[in-house]
Amino acid sequence: MTNPTVTVPAAPVPPGRRADRRRGSRTLHSGFYPYLFIAPAAVCFLSFMAIPIVYAIWVSFRTVKVSGLGLGSGSRTEVWAGLANYSAVLSDPEFLASARRALAYGAVLVPVMLGLALLFALLLDSRRARARTFSRLAIFLPYAVPAVISSVLWGFLYLRGTSPVHWLAAKAQVVLPDALSPDLVLFAIANIGIWGGTGFNMIVLYTPLKAIPSELYEAATLDGASEFQIATRIKIPMVLPSLIMTLVFSVIATLQVFAEPMTLRPMTNGISSTWSPLMKIYRDAFVQNDIYTASAGSIIVALATFVISFGFLRLVRGQAFAQESR
Amino acid sequence: MSIVSPSTPSARSSASGPSSAPRLERRSGGMSNKPSILTTGILLIGAAYCLFPVLWVVIASTKSSSELFSTFTLAPSVHLFENIGDLFAYRDGLFLRWGWNTVLYAVGGAAVSTFVSAAAGYGLAKYDFRGKQLFFSAILAGVLLPAVILAIPQYLLFAKIGLTDTYWAVFLPSILSPYGIYLSRIYAGAAVPTEMIEAARTDGAGDVRIFWQFGIPMMLPGLVTIFLFQFVGIWNNYMLPYIMLGDDGLFPITVGLSTLLNQGSSQPAMYTTVITGSLVAILPLIALFFVLQRYWQVDLAAGATKG
């Protein structure tokens, strides 16, 4: 997973806290001070977020026109391009292939990662599990390993010469396919993401579980609920808001996959220089020196991300309302 | 850290009195606490999956480059210190330089970012002012904004003012953390009582001093969590330094190791350096995570429930 800074959802407020919150939300009025407090953040926001976005949008509508033979300083002029860069990106087979790969990668990574995260969170919360502290720390540990290094480790574990799985297969005289071959590399990269992201999401889902009062379980047990029923009827609905937010953030992160395939590239021929949308945009900008197409490409990826995440949030909100009105 | 069971009155009385035995029995009979092999087994499989690559890198770091591809991958050897020596000797200690750069970017950047987020979150939580809604909405949009849209224009703008290929090119963009500001607003709202600010004002303290002397200490546990998030975010961010930096003396460890891996195809000895470098890079991080683990626990919970 690439961008873990944004992965924790705001879970619902338990009723007991509401009074606190109302009291705390009383605010002060004193003209100048609040601006002083937000000034550094506002300056950073303008410089490193607002201005770059506006600039990217502007550049995405521009292009370079070469006059004459394209020699000399006056022969290259920047002109208005309208939507030409956008239509160029959207009709570029390399970009479309990279977008399909990113979607397939997300379709493999996100359900498996969040499914495992939820399973481990529920198991950690079960009274019947042993070695819980050890498991929690071990499963969380990969979060300390940045994507580049996890790709190095897994890359060697995939290589025929250093993979223990290939070693076992050789002992059994079976020839396994190469995990980094073009057909399988998507799963190989998804596995790196699953390895890196499961533990963090597990902690995010485990946190609201710990907040459920144990009286609730005792009452459910007295009513004859099994542990499995408690998990599906009480625990999963309680973590659902967290689950939805981790899902949105995971989707945003997977569409931006970059570090893992870039790191693995020297170890295989299975990853082209335009494997993921970001790799394609990087190549446009820094290898082809075409910042105009690259800007249009990044805005398309950003818009697609917004459409998918907001669309999904709308969808689940509709379902949540439907459930409430029942 | 395990199960959350607030000591209820009945549990407390049952633990003290001599009549506790039958009650305890009934409790354990009601809610089964007996160990389950399946539950524990699945957790341990998950733990093994997560530990395996780390175990592998520890073993692989002990091998010479000729052993790396020739001996069984999980068979340790005796060349660990030799490899570490080679790693630190590589191009007059370039790896150490990368380590120092990483500390500068990740620790320095996260510290400044936490302070900026703390002030902004405090201002948003404790004051009313014109433009507050607009500013907060912009920050929220920033939380969901994919970083991809920023990297290229940031590079182009930095190039215009001659900042690319400098420490600032990686350090400055890392200061802004919309998510940190969002969390900080939650922490400030929950941990700093408005009455306290009013009382301190009556005593003649200025607003900045109140923030510095009372606000920050009260928000501190939350700020540690914000720091950790931002630290991991910077340490994990490969694209920004990869785009911004050309001089390998400015690289963080991640970009440095990926360039070494690129050389591996022509110089296989480089693989051992990359593997040893990976181990040396993640060990302090893993240690730090264990030491600070309660901040991933307690304060994630606090941040979520105090929202």
| pLDDT tens, N- to C-terminus, chain B (307 residues) | 333 333 333 333 333 334 334 444 334 334 567 788 898 999 999 999 999 999 999 999 999 988 998 888 899 999 999 999 999 999 999 999 999 999 999 999 999 999 999 999 999 999 999 899 999 999 988 887 877 678 899 999 999 999 999 999 999 999 999 999 998 998 899 899 999 998 998 998 889 999 999 999 999 988 998 999 899 999 999 999 999 999 999 999 999 999 999 988 788 889 999 999 999 999 988 888 888 877 765 434 344 433 3
Quote the CA–CA distance of A316 and A248 in Å, as a whole number.
Answer: 11
Rounded CA-CA distance A301/A305 in Å is: 6
Output the domain CATH number for residue A221.
1.10.3720.10
H/E stretch holding A232 reads none
Asked whether the beta carbons of residue B4 and residue A34 sit closer than 8 angstroms, the reply is no
Long-range own/partner contacts, residues A74-82 (CB < 8 A, 24 or more apart):
A81/A292
B43-68 in b/e form (b: 16+ CB < 10 A) is bbebbebbbbbbebbebbbbbbbebb
Q: Domain total for chain A?
A: 1
One-letter amino acid identity for B232? V
Q: Who contacts B212 (Cβ-Cβ below 8 Å, separation ≥6)?
A: none
- Give a yes or no: residue A158 inside a domain: yes
Six-digit token pair at A227? 């542990």
For residue A29, being part of any structural domain is answered with no
Q: How near does any CA of chain A get to the CA of B18, in Å? A: 23
What single letter denotes the amino acid at residue A82? G
Secondary structure element (H or E) that encloses residue A282, with its range: helix A277-282
What pLDDT, on the 0 to 100 scale, is given for residue A69? 65
Residue A2: pLDDT above 80? no
Residue A291 forms part of a structural domain:
yes
* Closest residue by Cα to residue B276 from B295, B253, B250, B306: B253
DSSP helix/strand/coil, A145: coil
Contacts of B209 in chain A (CB under 8 A): none
Residue A152: partners with Cβ closer than 8 Å, 6 or more residues away: A263, B257, B261, B274, B275, B278
Residue B212 maps to a domain: yes
Q: Distance (Å) from the C-alpha of residue A161 to the closest C-alpha of chain B?
A: 5
How many domains are contained in chain B? 1
Burial class (CB in 10 A: 0-12, 13-18, 19+), B190: buried
Which amino acid belongs to residue B236? N
Question: Residues 6 or more apart from B286 whose CB is under 8 A from it?
Answer: A141, A144, A145, B54
Residue A34 domain-assigned (yes or no): no
Q: Which of A148-157, A206-215, B31-40, B294-303 comes out lowest in average pLDDT?
A: B294-303
- Which residue stretches of B61-131 are H helix? 65-68, 80-89, 94-103, 109-126
Helices marked H in A126-183 = 132-140, 147-158, 164-171
Q: What tokens does A286 get?
A: 């820094």
C-alpha to C-alpha distances, B219 to A7, B186, B225, nearest whole angstrom: 21, 10, 10
> Quick check: A21 contacting B, CB < 8 Å?
yes
Q: Is B74 part of any domain?
A: no
Rounded to 5 degrees, φ, ψ at A65 are -105, 125
Tell me the β-bridge partners of A77. A65
Examine the pLDDT at A105 and tell me if it is beyond 50.
yes
Instruction: Give contacts of A212 with chain B, Cβ < 8 Å.
Output: 4
pLDDT value at A64 more than 70: yes
CB-CB: which of B4, B139, B307 is closest to A10? Answer: B307
Tell me what pLDDT residue A74 has.
65
Residue whose tokens read 């239509």: A87
Which structural domain, as residue segments, surrounds residue B199? 94-305
Residues of chain B contacting residue A278, judged by C-beta atoms under 8 Å apart: 148, 239
Q: What is the largest distance, in Å, between two alpha-carbon atoms of chain A?
A: 86
Specify the pLDDT at position B7.
34
B67 neighbors B196 (Cβ within 8 angstroms)? no
* Helical spans, DSSP H, in A143-256: 147-158, 164-171, 185-211, 214-222, 227-230, 236-255
Q: What is the distance between the alpha carbons of residues A309 and B191, in angstroms, rounded to a whole number?
A: 31
More confident residue, A75 or B61: B61
Per DSSP, B78 falls in state S
What's residue B277's pLDDT?
96
What percentage of chain A carries pLDDT values higher than 70?
86
Distance CA B272, CA B95 (A): 14
pLDDT in tens, A12-52: 444 444 444 444 456 777 678 899 999 999 999 999 999 99
A172-198: average pLDDT: 93
CATH number at residue B130: 1.10.3720.10
CB–CB of A38 and B123 under 8 A?
A: yes
In a domain, A33, yes or no: no
B76 domain residue, yes or no: no
**A7 confidence band (pLDDT: 50, 70, 90):** very low
For the stretch A244-292, pLDDT in tens is: 888 888 998 898 999 999 999 999 999 999 999 999 999 999 999 999 9
Position B112 in a domain: yes
Number of other CB atoms surrounding residue A84 within 10 Å? 15
Q: Cβ A256–B148 below 8 Å, yes or no?
A: yes
Contact A145 B285 (CB under 8 A): yes
Residue B155 DSSP class: H
Does the residue A290 lie in any domain?
A: yes
Which chain A residues touch B198 with a CB distance below 8 Å?
28
- Contacts with A, B 57-116, CB within 8 Å: 57, 60, 68-69, 72-74, 115-116
- C-alpha to C-alpha distance for B216 and B122, rounded to whole angstroms: 9
CA-CA distance, B295 to B220, in Å (whole number)?
11
Yes or no, beta carbons of B40 and A130 under 8 Å apart: yes
Determine contact, residues B62/B77, Cβ cutoff 8 Å.
yes
Q: Which residues of A touch B232 (CB under 8 A)?
A: 4-5, 143-144
- Examine residue A71 and state whether it is found in any structural domain, yes or no: no
Find the CB nearest B179 among A6, A51, A282: A6
Q: Please tell me the predicted confidence (pLDDT) of residue B290.
A: 83
Contacts of B181 (CB under 8 A, 6+ apart): A41, B116, B117, B120, B121, B124, B139
User: Among A41, A152, A301, whose Cβ lies nearest the Cβ of B148?
Assistant: A301
Does the distance separating the beta carbons of B36 and A3 come in below 8 Å? no
With beta carbons less than 8 A apart as the criterion, state whether A63 and A85 touch: yes
Query: Residue A97 corresponds to which tokens in the numbers above?
Result: 């292939």
- A123 found inside a domain: yes
Cα distances from A86 to residues A58, A63, A232, A285, A322, in angstroms, run 12, 11, 46, 15, 39
- The 10s digit of each residue's pLDDT in A222-248 is 888 888 888 888 888 888 888 888 888
Angle value at C-alpha B137, between B132 and B142, nearest 5 degrees: 130
Say how far apart CA B271 and CA A267 lie, in whole Å.
11
**C-beta atoms of A131 and B40 within 8 A:** yes
Burial of B25 (C-beta count, 10 Å sphere; 0-12/13-18/19+): exposed
Q: What number of residues does chain A have? A: 326
A135 in contact with chain B, both atoms CB, cutoff 8 A: yes
Chain A residues lying within 8 Å of B215, measured CB to CB: none
Which chain A residues have a beta carbon less than 8 Å from that of B42?
Answer: 119-120, 123
User: Is a pLDDT exceeding 80 seen at residue A314?
Assistant: yes
Q: What is the pTM of this model?
A: 0.86
Report the pLDDT value the prediction gives residue A71, as an integer from 0 to 100. Answer: 63
B127 within 8 A of A33, measured Cβ to Cβ: yes
ipTM over 0.95 threshold: no
Q: How far apart are CA A49 and CA A42, in angstroms?
A: 10
Backbone region of residue A70 per phi and psi (left: phi > 0; alpha: psi in -120 to 50; beta: other values): left
What pLDDT is stored for residue A318 in this prediction? 58
Work out how many CB contacts closer than 8 A connect A with B: 371
Provide the residue range defining the domain that includes A234: 4-12+83-325
- How many residues in chain B? 307
CA dihedral B119, B123, B126, B131 (to 10 degrees): -160
Q: Which residues contact A97 (CB under 8 A, 6 or more apart)?
A: A274
Q: Are A123 and B150 an interchain contact pair (Cβ–Cβ within 8 Å)?
A: no
Q: Which amino acid is at A175?
A: V
* B62 in any annotated domain: no
